[in-house]
Structure 1
Amino acid sequence: MDKRQTYALGGTIAAALAGALAWWNYMPAAPAPVSPVPAQSRNGMLVVPANQARQLGIQVQPAASATDAPLADLPAMIAPPPNARVAVAASLPGVVMRTMVVEGDTVRRGQALAVISSRDVLSLNGDLTRAGARLGVAQSNANRLSQLDREGIIAGARADEARALAAEARADVSEKSRILRLVNGHGGSGTYTLVTPIAGRVTSANIQAGSPVEGTTAPYVIDAVDRYEVEAQLPERLVGVVRPGMTIRLGDLRGTITAVGSTIDPATRSAMVKATLPAGSAVVAGRATNISVFGPAPAGAVSVPQAALTSIDGKDVVFIATGSGFAVRHVDAGGASAGKVLLLSGVRSGERVVTSGTSALKALSQAR
């Protein structure tokens, strides 16, 4: 290799080294890891600046005195009480001309359900017309003979007989009119109307326009919507603890236990419990659901949102907001239901409990 080639190779190597050195000097340094700002501790309090508390999303809510305590969540079945279901029967055979409601509709008492055309209504109307004509003749005859009886022209027995015939004709008219009223019959059109005897919800509608109906069928079933019955299986361990008069909840609805069975089913090791429940959007007859059973809460117990409860070193704690900061308070937790947890001790009614940002406070307290 001559000197010229040697000088060229050396220049190339020098240029490469200079470029690498320039790149190294101008490469941005990696950011230093940011360590979390430790919470300050003052008199056992966890002190968090106001701006940091807002960033952490910390929210508080006062603890409320608890009047009842959750005992158990039970699978249950909703049903109407035995006296709250009514079958609307077709009084006379005929053909459905028109229906006004469908299954699931809410109806008021006396509301029309369907119009049915029936020959029997025409026949009843004809009988009523003939009975009315006979009544007119019998009444006129009774009036005439009564006048003759008062004048002494005829024997009184004949007037009495005429009055008896008029009374019989009047009773016949009344009976046929009553039958037409009972079936809501319309003699002129030969139709009658099915109406609901109670206010409620149509839970069965086995009827459609153009179809025949018999006088022994019940095209509609109406359930009263103001009250329902709940049946649930009570575990053996709670038999004797749960009593009539205790409260149940289904969502925001509150009901009352009416009966607790005294016999344990050997297959399920449970007893039957029944309760009443008011109407609501979640209450549908035949629906399977879950109910929460509540008993009296112990004295001094409070209720807080379930998000307020956390665990530190295996113990249940909540954070209490005070004027000096946030205090870690050990608690004895009871049952939980509908997003609320029962605290048996550790928190007094009215104390402000952290309900949001609990995880952040937990991390700060463990970093102290």
Structure 2
Amino acid sequence: MKTILTGGVLPFGLALLLAACGSSSEGGNETAGNETSAGAEAGGNEAAHADEGAVTLSADQITAAGVQIGRPLTGGAGTIELPATIEGDPQGTQVVSAAIGGRVVALTRNLGQSVGRGQTIAVIESREAAQLKGEVEASRARLALANSNLSREQRLFAQRVSPEQDLIAARTAAIEARIAYRQAQSQVSAAGGGGGGLNRLGIVAPIGGQVIARPVVLGQTVAADSELYRIANLSRVSLALNLRPEDAGRVKPGNIVTVTAPGRQASARISFVSPALDPQTRQVPVIATLDNGGGQWRVGEPVTAAVQLSGSGGSNAVRVPTTAVQTVEGKSVVFVRTAKGFQSTPVTLGDAAGDTVIIRSGLTGQEQIATTGSFTLKAELGKGEAAHED
């Protein structure tokens, strides 16, 4: 009985042991299965994260889509584009006015014609002109008489015939007559001069240049200080701009302005930034100087001006075409070329620079990017994300 009892217990214990081992083995297999599943899921998430923002395209597909590839530009500064007007250089524009009232009897220059400094360009007939010229003639005669008396008194004083007091009086009279003559000459000179007659005064050009305005006609009676001509030296012209106060703070004298008109382009330089706002426009008047030696720019012509902003770029600034930038999920991105296609790269934009924009961060300038056709890549990216969500 004892032997039989012992033999019965051993199989039962072995069964329990085997059951425990089996349970442990099944638990281990279950744990291992869970770990494998978790690892696969994690790997899938990493792969999905790695593919986020990627657009897979072959070289043939890129060509067919019309996507062009290039490198970012380096250097340059941000600009503001705004309309502007060509004006005469304030330092080279002169209004020619009538110093006396009278009738215009001659106008020797028409609009657009050239004139040299000192040339007679108008003649005014006036009683005042006759009075001025008459005073010159009278003072000249008085001066001649005073000089003659002085010579006679000097001779008589040398012969001890006339006292020194008479000589001093004659000398004083001669000096006064000379002053009166010069004063009369100055009055005529201030009014004009010449003119071809006692009652006529010629008006001369104070500077050389071109006639850009002539508001009077022959035979017209004009008052003193009436404008007869406007002459401009158009070898240099000015560019009139109006900037917002926040933009004007980034524009300084010496900054470059690119001036563009149909078929023409040139560079001007800022010469004046007003310290005060215009009371009408509430903007800041700015003047740039533009070389016009070739005569290609006309006063009053509307143009487009791209004004360089200070402190917005530099020799290391990275710029890309505006066509290379897209907005994805509210962020500005540039599509960078990869081995499999393109990767959308978030960037921080700076100031515009003509048809380019400065990249403050996100690119080094050494990448190859999609310069045109980036909208197509954005559409492909949207398709890929939609398929991934499904």
Normalising by structure 2, what TM-score? 0.58
Contact 2:132 2:188 in 1 (8 A): yes
Pair 1:109–1:289, CA change in 2 (3 A): farther
Match of 1:294 in 2: 309
Greater shift, 111-120 or 87-96, is seen at 111-120
Distance between the aligned counterparts of 1:152 and 1:333, measured in 2? 100
Q: Distance in 2 between matches of 1:119 and 1:328?
A: 85
Higher-Rg structure is 2
Q: Structure 1 residues 192, 321: closer, same or farther in 2, change over 3 A? A: farther
The residue number in structure 1 matching 2:220 is: 211
Quick one: structure 1 residues 122 and 161, their matched pair in 2 at CA, closer, same or farther if it must change by over 3 Å?
same
Matched, 1:138 2:146: yes
> Which of the numbers 302, 320, 331 marks the counterpart of 1:304?
320
Match of 1:118 in 2: 126
Match runs of 1:64-79 below 5 Å: 64-68=74-78
Q: 1:54 to 1:69 in 2, by over 3 A?
A: same
Residues in 2 aligned to 1:309 and 1:152: alpha-carbon distance in whole angstroms: 105
Q: Give the match for residue 184 of structure 1.
A: 192
Alpha-carbon distance in structure 1 between the residues aligned to 2:137 and 2:375: 85
Measured after TM superposition, the shift of residue 257 of structure 1 is: 3.9
Question: C-alpha distance in 1, partners of 2:175/2:231?
Answer: 40
Size of the aligned set, in residue pairs, is 311
Checking the alignment, whether the CA contact within 8 Å between 2:72 and 2:318 is kept in structure 1 is no
Q: Which runs of 5+ in 1 are unaligned?
A: 1-42
Over 3 Å counting, the alpha-carbon distance change for 1:201 and 1:181 in structure 2 is same
Cα distance, 1:323–1:91 mapped onto 2, change above 3 Å: farther
Q: Which whole-Å CA distance do the structure 1 matches of 2:205 and 2:339 have between them?
A: 64
Following superposition of structure 1 onto structure 2, how do residues 241-260 of structure 1 map, counting pairs within 5 Å? 242=249, 245=252, 251=259, 253=268, 255=270, 257-259=273-275
CA distance in 2, matches of 1:122, 1:230: 47
The residue number in structure 2 matching 1:48 is 59
Supply the distance in 2 between the matched residues of 1:184 and 1:321 (Cα, whole angstroms): 75
Give yes or no for contact 2:55–2:380 (8 Å, CA) kept in 1: no
Aligned partners of 1:348, 1:276: CA distance in 2, in Å?
A: 36
Partner of 1:14: none
**Structure 2 spans left out of the alignment, 5+ residues:** 1-53, 260-266, 292-296, 385-390
Matched to 1:138, the amino acid is A
Matches within 5 A, 1:12-31: none
| SS of residue paired to 1:186 | coil
SS in 2 for 1:278: strand
1:168-222 CA-partner distances (Å, limit 9, x unpaired): 2222221222222223310534543434546788675431222111124334456
Look up the match of 1:20.
none
| Equivalent residue number for residue 101 of structure 2 | 93
Structure 2: which amino acid aligns with 1:158? D
Matched, 1:63 2:73: yes
The structure whose residues are more often helix, as a share, is 2
Query: For residue 277 of structure 1, what is the aligned residue in structure 2?
Result: 288
Residues 248 and 257 of structure 1 are in contact (CA less than 8 Å); yes or no, is this contact kept in structure 2? no
For 1:218, the aligned partner's letter is: E
Give the CA deviation at 1:294. 3.3
Query: How far apart are the structure 2 equivalents of 1:106 and 1:360?
Result: 58
Residue 296 of structure 1 aligns to a residue in which SS? coil
Give how far 1:151 is off.
1.8
CA-based RMSD: 5.0
Identity fraction in percent = 26
Cα distance change, pair 139–340 in 1 and its aligned pair in 2 (3 A): same
8 A contact 2:98–2:223 mirrored in 1: yes
Q: Equivalent residue for 2:16?
A: none
> Is 1:229–1:277's contact at 8 Å kept on the other side of the alignment?
yes
User: CA 1:242–1:187 in 2, change beyond 3 Å: closer, same or farther?
Assistant: closer
Distance 1:352 1:137, change over 3 A: farther
Maintained 8 Å contact 1:69/1:295 = no
1:6 is aligned to none
